[in-house]
Amino acid sequence: MKLDRIARTSCLAPVAAIMLMLAGVLFPSPASGQELIGRLKYGGGGDWYANPTSLPNLLEFAREETNLDLPKREKVIEPGSHDIFDFAFIHATGHGNIHFNEAERKNLRDYLLSGGFLHVDDNYGLDEHFRPEVKKLFPDKELVELPFSHPIYHCFFDFSQGLPKIHEHHGGPPHGYAIVHEGRVVLFYSYNTDLGDGWESEEVHHDPPAKHLAALKMGTNLLIYALSR
């Protein structure tokens, strides 16, 4: 299901965002004590630790392209930890089962509804486990496909056709789904694309440079969208 009205969610125009970043106004610094970027260590037996070079590469690219004051590496965070509220962007990936217990589910939901952001990237095999979990996490909300006009595709780099296709997986186009709360994307789910593989170092998957670059650019958009909320 696509909701065109979601496209009216405001996101800073690229020029304005750049100016605020350069001025140090828009984004908090890691020196302030706030850990900005996290990797979600979830239960269920899935490989939450997959793609170990992905986030460091994305953070390096985003620092160079946007002048964001970002850490060199992500921090591992568990869904039930109170420290999760210190993070502005959390990434989750894997190939297998993902599961939250009731306490983790409540904590993660509270985090997202209070201003947090979670990016879940299907690394081929996560989808069948993730969809039931997201229904438990947000029983009152629907996982909707964002229109290509949504600001998440245009915050910094322009993706007029939505997510780039990195790896083939099921064939067909990639899909960007979201949980939206009060006009803000709180959870973004990239499916049938494998952005995380695209962020990894070239020697891991030997992706063409154009695909590697497209994945990094889309990841930078996700960072900017999350951090500008």
Domain boundaries, the chain: 4-227
Of 45-54, 65-74, 91-100, 212-221, give the lowest mean pLDDT range.
65-74
Q: Which two tokens stand for residue 134?
A: 């997201």
What does the pLDDT look like over 11-20, one tens digit per residue? 444 444 444 4
DSSP H or E segment with residue 40: strand 37-40
What does the pLDDT look like over 111-152, one tens digit per residue? 999 999 999 999 988 999 999 999 999 999 999 999 999 999
* Chosen CATH of 4-227 out of 3.30.930.10, 3.40.50.12140, 3.40.50.10300, 3.40.50.10710: 3.40.50.12140
168 CB-contact burial (10 Å; exposed 0-12 / middle 13-18 / buried 19+): exposed
As a whole number, the mean pLDDT across the chain is 86
CA angle at residue 209 from 206 to 213, to 5 degrees? 120
Beta strands in 70-215 (DSSP E): 75-77, 89-94, 118-122, 144-145, 175-181, 184-191
pLDDT at 113: 98
pLDDT over threshold 80, residue 9: no
pLDDT over threshold 70, residue 4: no
% of residues, the chain, pLDDT over 90: 76
pLDDT at 168: 76
Backbone φ and ψ of 215, nearest 5°: -65, -45
pLDDT at 115: 95
CA distance 191 to 130: 11
pTM of the model: 0.87
CA distance 141 to 120: 17
